[in-house]
Chain A
Amino acid sequence: MRNASHIFEDDLSARTRAGKRWQVVFLAATILAIISLTLLLINILNSVFGFVVLDSKVDPATLIVDGIPLEDQSSDQLIGVLKMNLSSGAFNKLEKEKSFAQRDRAEIYQLVEERVLKVEVLESWSLLDSIFKQEEVKAEYQTLLETHPNAELKFISWLTRQRLVRPQTSEVMTTGIRTAILGSLWTIFITILFAFPVGVGAAIYLEEYARENWLNRIIQTNINNLAGVPSIIYGILGLAIFVRTLEPLTSGAVFGVVDPLTANGRTVLSAGLTLGLLILPLIIINSQEAIRAVPQSLRNAGYGLGATKWQVIKAHVLPNAMPGVLTGTILAISRAIGETAPLVVVGASTAISFDPTSPFSKFTTLPIQIYQWTARPQAEWQHVAGAAILVLLVLLLGLNAVAILMRNRLSHKY
């Protein structure tokens, strides 16, 4: 009591002023948090667009055939360009890898870009620099022109349609994220196949069947603890269990379908299962909440009609819990799509240019690709990494939007 009277002795106007000050502090902190999110997004857009100085080994003007510029030439004309500019050995090697008759125009055009033009980035600028420091950009370009007479100043978007459909290469201007996107899709497909049924099953067991005993208490506590284990630990677990111990299974040897290019356990299957273990606790916890929200009266009505326990769950509990279960699952999956660390440990490939074709293929994923590009010291790779991040964020934003829509559309109120 004495304490309380002491508090209220103070000058009232001073106390009100203190209150106002705190309100400003709280508001400012919140605004700061939002600013950091905005900066994060602006920073990515800032690196995806901007001026570049490009230089090609061969002047594109010399490659004009019958007055048609390179971009508009047909497949046959482009093959002619290749034949003319490559040594016959190099040309035959390309033919051997995959015959030119089988390659489509886009593929051949890419070869011309990589092998003949050899476009190089001499200098690149961010979007903000491109807008506000145009003088510097122009001056820099003039100095570069002295040493590289063919150099060309261009304003480009680092994210183009071609980047989406092209496989990974070692050249910054021609590399794409097709391999990475397909790798992500394959991995996530395996993850869903494993984690969704097991996760929902475990949630049903814990909510509908489990009696209050020591075993079930341990299971529940354990799941809560697993949700807090750092993702990299799951990577180490995946490396030891899926990649190494279960190698015959994850490399496909058991099924006699070993991918000759992989031939070890560092496959899409191992990656998918590792991510599956990682998001399992999330799916279980979210599904449990959804199942718990189904009112007991619905179950009792089912039992009253003579239904068995599983019939009640199948026909009443699950359909009513489904919106919550699916929302939780989608959020867990978007977590899995963005995970990088466990997959690096499991053994994502650093450079692959062919699409994954089975669960036993080597893999890379979008976040892994971003990591590898970001880790390179040359500035121009940061732009490509930014473009890949933009794709990843759009993908995740789409998934989250679906989850929110589903929650709003399908949810029942009792």
Chain B
Amino acid sequence: MKLFATTQKNNGFPVKPNRLEKKRRFSEDLVQLLLFLAGILSIFTTLGIVVTLGREAWLFFRLPEVNLLEFLTGTTWQPHIQQFGILPLAVATLVTTAIAMVIAIPLGLTVAIFLSEYASQKVRNTLKPILELLAGIPTIVYGYFALTFVTPLLRGIFGRDVVNIYNTGSAGLVMGILILPLIASISEDALTAVPRSLREAAYGLGATKSEVVFKVVVPAALSGISAAIILGISRAIGETMIVAVAAGAGPNLTLNPFKGAETMTGHIVRISGGDLSYDSIDYNSIFAIGLMLFLITLLLNIISQWVVRNFREVYE
């Protein structure tokens, strides 16, 4: 303070009091505004999805030949004879998703446990990139794999008259392979986040390795594992190209995985594949199906976030 005063005196100038409050700069505000707009765009994307899906679906349900109850419970989807029951499409989605999860959950979890608990550092460093690579392959390539490898394989095993060329089974199996890395990688993150001290304590009590895994580590990471499974289901429901290529065209209400059946996503792709004219009943119907898909996957995503938030074990 004293020093400051002296310098002022020595200069001999009348010193303006130093203004410490922030000076407003126009360019700074402009930059902040632009960045804010970039951030808020995501809200508009969501609004766009909700509004367009909602509006077109509303137009669809207002058509005289459509009613909501029939849409949700009808067992035939034949737009050209005014039959709009979503069940055949929804059941096909259910079958492919169920088959995919039967493959992806056990395999994904065991891979995650192997990587986090058993594999050496070196093995993990080679395996993780391979899994990431598997996750990065476009889904159309998986579709090709389903049609040209898995379907002939299934037909070879079960007989050509039992298994159709297009079938939900092969699409579901390959979808399981697609979702495996997703479940493995999220679960592995959850497992590695369990602190070492918990494992050491269990070993100290005389537990074997597999007892530590099943009775200590997995229960502690259960929230993350559940989230991974829910995300996997949501991904399977929204998956499109595998089913579009391998599961068959044409709605078909069947639980038989060896028969062809069109899923919700598969139907949207096939219908919009040609030049779809606006405001036709087909055009509006894909928005109604899209709205269903959006609501189901959104619900699943929100549940998975809720599970993580509310059931996560937090360690110091």
Chain A residues with CB under 8 Å of chain B are 4, 7-8, 15-16, 18-19, 21-23, 25-27, 29-30, 32-34, 36-37, 39-40, 43-44, 47, 197-199, 201-202, 204-206, 209-210, 216, 218-219, 222-226, 228-233, 235-237, 239-241, 244, 266, 277, 280-281, 284, 308-310, 331, 334-335, 337-341, 344-345, 347, 350, 367, 370-371, 374-375, 382, 385-386, 389, 392-393, 396, 400, 404
Q: Give the docked Cα–Cα distance between A341 and B211 (Å).
A: 44
Q: Mark B256-279, 1 if CB is under 8 A from A, else 0.
A: 000000000100110011011010
Kindly count the residue-residue contacts between A and B in the assembled complex, taking CB atoms under 8 Å apart: 264
Please indicate the chain A residues that have their CB under 8 angstroms from the CB of B110 in the complex: 25-26, 29-30
Please indicate the chain B residues that have their CB under 8 angstroms from the CB of A4 in the complex: 205
Sort A-B residue pairs by CB-CB distance and give the 4 closest, nearest first. A230-B238, A338-B138, A201-B38, A29-B110
Query: What does DSSP make chain A's interface, helix, strand, loop or mixed?
Result: helix
Q: Give the docked Cα–Cα distance between A232 and B241 (Å).
A: 10
Q: Please list 13 pairs of residues, one from A and one from B, whose beta carbons are closer than 8 Å in the complex, sorted by A's number.
A: A43-B149, A199-B38, A205-B39, A209-B35, A226-B46, A228-B231, A228-B297, A230-B240, A232-B238, A233-B49, A233-B294, A338-B141, A374-B147
B145, B211, B287: the one contacting A15 at CB < 8 Å is B211
Please indicate the chain B residues that have their CB under 8 angstroms from the CB of A389 in the complex: 140-141, 144
Q: Is the CB of A232 within 8 A of B215?
A: no
Q: Is the CB of A280 within 8 A of B234?
A: no
Let me know if B136 is at the binding interface, CB within 8 A. Answer: yes
Please indicate the chain B residues that have their CB under 8 angstroms from the CB of A308 in the complex: 25, 28
Let me know if B281 is at the binding interface, CB within 8 A. Answer: no
B28, B43, B287: the one contacting A222 at CB < 8 Å is B43
Q: Give the docked Cα–Cα distance between A152 and B40 (Å).
A: 63
The winner among A202, A235, A374 for most chain B CB atoms within 10 A is: A374
Q: Give the docked Cα–Cα distance between A39 and B118 (Å).
A: 25
Let me know if B4 is at the binding interface, CB within 8 A. Answer: no
Query: What does DSSP make chain B's interface, helix, strand, loop or mixed?
Result: helix
Q: Give the docked Cα–Cα distance between A204 and B32 (Å).
A: 9
Q: Give the docked Cα–Cα distance between A237 and B294 (Å).
A: 11
Q: Is the CB of B140 within 8 A of A241?
A: no
Let me know if B194 is at the binding interface, CB within 8 A. Answer: no
Please indicate the chain B residues that have their CB under 8 angstroms from the CB of A244 in the complex: 278
Q: Is the CB of A396 within 8 A of B290?
A: no
Q: Is the CB of A23 within 8 A of B210?
A: yes
Stretch at the interface among B9-17, B67-75, B84-92, B127-135: B127-135
The winner among B107, B273, B275 for most chain A CB atoms within 10 A is: B273
What is the chain B residue whose CB lies nearest that of A277? B45
Q: Is the CB of B241 within 8 A of A340?
A: yes
Let me know if B6 is at the binding interface, CB within 8 A. Answer: no
Please indicate the chain B residues that have their CB under 8 angstroms from the CB of A231 in the complex: 238, 240
